[in-house]
Amino acid sequence: MTTRDYLTIDDFDTDGKTILVRVDLNTPMDPDDNILDDMRIRSHIPTIKDLDDAKVVLLAHQSRAGKNDFTSMKPHSLRMSQYLGKEVKYIDDIFGTHARNSISAMEKGDVILLENVRFYSEESLQRSASDHAGTHMVRKLSPLIDIFLNDAFAVSHRSHLSIMGFTETLPTGAGRVMEKEISSLDRGIKGGERPCIFVLGGAKVDDSLKVAENVLINGGADKVLVTGVVANVMLAASGVDIGKTNLDFIESQGYTDQIERGKQVLEKFNGKIGLPIDIAFNDGGKRTEAQVSELPGDGLPINDIGLETIVAFSEEIKNAKTVVLNGPAGLSEISDFALGTHEIIKAAVDSEYSIAGGGHISAEVRNLGYEDKFSHLSTGGGACIDYLAGEKLPGIEALKIAATRYRLNR
Beta bridge partners of 59: 22
Q: Is 360 part of any known ligand binding site?
A: yes
Q: Is 258 part of any known ligand binding site?
A: no
Q: How far is CA 126 from CA 114, 130, 326, 395, in A?
A: 22, 12, 26, 12
Distance (Å, whole) CA 252 – CA 254: 5
Cβ neighbours, 10 Å, residue 306? 24
Q: Is 359 part of any known ligand binding site?
A: yes
Distance (Å, whole) CA 329 – CA 345: 10
Q: Is 361 part of any known ligand binding site?
A: yes
Q: Is 358 part of any known ligand binding site?
A: yes
Cβ-Cβ contacts under 8 Å for 162 (sequence gap 6 or more): 22, 59, 61, 117, 123, 137, 152
Q: Check residue 375 and report its DSSP letter.
A: S
Which amino acid would we find at residue 319? N
Q: If we measure between CA atoms, which residue out of 218, 214, 246, 219 comes closest to residue 230? A: 246
Q: Is 100 part of any known ligand binding site?
A: no
Q: Is 96 part of any known ligand binding site?
A: no
Q: Is 409 part of any known ligand binding site?
A: no
Q: Is 24 part of any known ligand binding site?
A: yes
Q: How far is CA 224 from CA 192, 208, 277, 306, in A?
A: 15, 10, 15, 18
Spatial contact of 173 and 147, defined as CB atoms under 8 Å apart: yes
Helix (H) or strand (E) holding 398: helix 394-408
Which amino acid would we find at residue 185? L
223-233 burial, b at 16+ Cβ within 10 Å, e below that, comes to bbbbbbbbbbb
Distance (Å, whole) CA 380 – CA 286: 33
Q: Is 63 part of any known ligand binding site?
A: yes
Q: Is 79 part of any known ligand binding site?
A: no
**Which residue stretches of 7-61 are H helix?**
39-43, 45-49
Spatial contact of 282 and 300, defined as CB atoms under 8 Å apart: yes
Q: Is 64 part of any known ligand binding site?
A: yes
Annotated binding-site residues for ATP read 333, 358-361
Annotated binding-site residues read 24-26, 40, 61-64, 118, 158, 333, 358-361
Annotated binding-site residues for substrate read 24-26, 40, 61-64, 118, 158
Annotated binding-site residues for (2R)-3-phosphoglycerate read 40, 118, 158
